[in-house]
C-alpha cells in the first residue's frame, strides 16, 4: 500500500478547505433581488401621482412603489434561493393587473401595468326596438271596430250554442236578427191597420 507523503497530504487538505470555503462563501451571500420596472396606466391614462404598485408573492406584499413621475415604477423584489420560479403578481391601488412573473434572483424585467376602474367603459346599454310598422299605428277607431266585431262574434257564438240546446226556447228566436225582424213586422202591421181605419173613417 502506497503511503501519502506529507506534501501530498497537505495538497489534499488544501483542496478540501478550498471546496468547503467556497461552499460557505456561496451560502453566506444572499440572493440578489429581482428588478421589475415599467409604466402604469389607469383607465387608459397615465397613473396619477400617489398611485401605489405592489408585488405579491405567496399572498404577501414583498415590495411597493409609490408613483411620483410619469406613471413609472421600479420594484426590487427580494427572495430566497428556494423562491426561484415562484409566481409574483402585481397590483395597482389594490387592483390585480392580471400580470405575473416568475421570481429569479438578479433578473431584470420590464412590464407595463394597466388596470380598468371605470364601470362605464364596460357597461352596455339596451333599449327596446321601436316598431314603426303600420300595425303599430292603429287608430282608436280601428281598435273600437275590432272590439265591436269581437263582441258581435261572441254574441253569434252564444246564440248558436243556445239554438243547439234542446231545452232552449224556439230555435227561431235564437237566430241572429230574429227579434229585430219580428219588431219591424209588428210595426208595419200596426201602420197598415191604422191606415185602413183612417180610410173607413173617411
Q: Which domains, ranges and CATH numbers included, belong to the chain?
A: 34-116 (2.60.40.10), 139-201 (no CATH)
DSSP string, 162-192: HHT-TTSS-HHHHSTTHHHHHHHHHHHHHHH
Asked whether the whole model's pTM tops 0.85, one would answer no
Alpha-carbon span 3 to 29, nearest angstrom: 40
Q: What is the pLDDT of residues 45-104, one digit of tens each?
A: 999 999 999 999 999 999 999 998 789 999 999 999 999 999 999 999 999 999 999 999
Q: Among candidates 79, 21, 32, 31, which has minimal Cα distance to 55?
A: 79
Residue 126 has what pLDDT?
43
Q: What is the pLDDT of residue 176?
A: 53
Amino acid at each position: 500500500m502506497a503511503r501519502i507523503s506529507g506534501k501530498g497530504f497537505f495538497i489534499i487538505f488544501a483542496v478540501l478547505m478550498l471546496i468547503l470555503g467556497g461552499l460557505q462563501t456561496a451560502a453566506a451571500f444572499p440572493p440578489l433581488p429581482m428588478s421589475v420596472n415599467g409604466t402604469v396606466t389607469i383607465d387608459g391614462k397615465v397613473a396619477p401621482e400617489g398611485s401605489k404598485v405592489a408585488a405579491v408573492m405567496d399572498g404577501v406584499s414583498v415590495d411597493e412603489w409609490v408613483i411620483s413621475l410619469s406613471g413609472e415604477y421600479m420594484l426590487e423584489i427580494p427572495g430566497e434561493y428556494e423562491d426561484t420560479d415562484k409566481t409574483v403578481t402585481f397590483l395597482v391601488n389594490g387592483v390585480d393587473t392580471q400580470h405575473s412573473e416568475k421570481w429569479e434572483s438578479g433578473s431584470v424585467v420590464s412590464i407595463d401595468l394597466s388596470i380598468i376602474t371605470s364601470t362605464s367603459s364596460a357597461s352596455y346599454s339596451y333599449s327596446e326596438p321601436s316598431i314603426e310598422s303600420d300595425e303599430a299605428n292603429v287608430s282608436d277607431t280601428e281598435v273600437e271596430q275590432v272590439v265591436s266585431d269581437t263582441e258581435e262574434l261572441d254574441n253569434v257564438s252564444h246564440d248558436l250554442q243556445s239554438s243547439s240546446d234542446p231545452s232552449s226556447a224556439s230555435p227561431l228566436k235564437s237566430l241572429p236578427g230574429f227579434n229585430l225582424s219580428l219588431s219591424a213586422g209588428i210595426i208595419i202591421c200596426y201602420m197598415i191597420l191604422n191606415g185602413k181605419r183612417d180610410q173607413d173613417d173617411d
